[in-house]
Amino acid sequence: MNRKIAIIVALQAFLIVMLFWVLVFYGKDEYESYMQGESEEEIETPNRVTTDKGITIVTLPPEAQLQSGIQTSRLASSDYRNALSTYGTVVNIDSLIDQRSRYLTAKAEASIARASLANTQQEFNRLSLLNQDNRNVSDRAVANAEALLKADEARVNAAENIARNLRDSIRQQWGEVLAAEATRQPETQAFARILQYRDVLIQATLPFDSPTPQAGNKISVIPAGARGQPIQAQFISASPQIDATVQGKTYYYLAPAEALRVGMRVSIKMPGNEKSVQGVVVPNSAVVWYGGKAWAYRKEDEEKFVRLSVSTDRETDAGWFNSAGLSNGDEVVTTGAQLLLSEEFKYQITNENDD
């Protein structure tokens, strides 16, 4: 009986020991996970965002800037003048080419008639002398020569009148400058580029109160609705024709034909009448958007950055012109600004969780 009880006690002890080790075995992972979590909670990430007098400052050591690819550039002083925006059209010059061709034909016919006139004049003079010298030539021969002379004179006058009328027509439709170019033979290099479709003619409509363009003045044009690098167009002359869709004074400009097509509407920007304003141009690469506004990070020292508002009222080809906030010589982040903004967000989220 005692032996049987001893066996039972031994089995119970064995089961208790086995159960203990089973609990230890399966509880080890949970314990290690718990301990690891405790240790992770004790590891604090460096706080890179602070505030000073209400200004948020992001701090990033030089080595962290290098690893993150943070790059900066200094802003340079720039002058800005409000640009006038208007529209224009790439002009079809088929009618100008046709008028030029007819004009040159008329001038050629006048030259031929003039050469014939010189011969008939010489013949008439010769016969007249012979007729006066004892009537070696009959009066009828002299009369016939005179008739030929008058016919050639009439042909010269008719051809010259046609050429003159064509030139007046060109002047009425295209203005004095283009009329002079179109009727010149041989054509100038500038007009040859138009004929060869290397350059195109643009009729620009400027506001009534805008100053009259001068020789050498330029405007920036770009196909309406398109984006890209504007094309520089140079002033040629006033245009006698109007644009039925836009009210204003019309002028002709010359531009490279690369991206422009006949009949195309173009958007035009030109310097306004106001005095220029001094400031800086914030590069497009430096601008980040948050809360519907544009921002840029200015580098305060070797490792501190401050986010400043960027005005988007005055856009330029290189970025945004600002006359306040940022100044000449300020160093702004041009690569990695989005990373600094994310770091600032992370700080704000952490503060909200702590609250």
pLDDT tens sequence across 101-142 = 999 999 999 989 888 888 888 888 888 888 887 777 777 887
DSSP 210: S
Does position 304 have pLDDT exceeding 50, yes or no? yes
- Residue range 49-80+276-354, CATH number: 2.40.420.20
Tokens at residue 276, please? 């220029």
Question: What is the model's pLDDT at position 140?
Answer: 85
Longest distance between any two alpha carbons in the chain, whole Å: 188
From 335, 298, 316, select the one nearest 58 (Cα to Cα).
Answer: 298
To 5 degrees, how large is the angle CA 154–CA 160–CA 165? Answer: 125
Domain 49-80+276-354 shares a fold with domain 84-91+197-271: no
222-239 pLDDT, tens digit each: 998 887 788 999 999 999
Domain boundaries, the chain: 1-43, 49-80+276-354, 84-91+197-271, 94-182
Residue 314's pLDDT is 84
Lowest mean pLDDT: which of 6-15, 184-193, 199-208, 247-256? 6-15
Hey, what are 349's tokens?
């989220």
- 56-94 pLDDT, tens digit per residue, is 888 888 888 888 888 999 999 988 877 788 899 999 999
Q: What is the rounded distance in angstroms from the CA atom of residue 134 to the CA atom of residue 122?
A: 20
For residue 39, pLDDT over 70 is answered with no
- Decide which of 259 and 24 is more confident: 259
Sign of CA dihedral 259, 181, 99, 113: negative
Q: How confident is the model at residue 29 (pLDDT cuts 50, 70, 90)?
A: low
Is 84-91+197-271 assigned to CATH 3.40.50.1370?
no
Give the pLDDT score at 40: 43
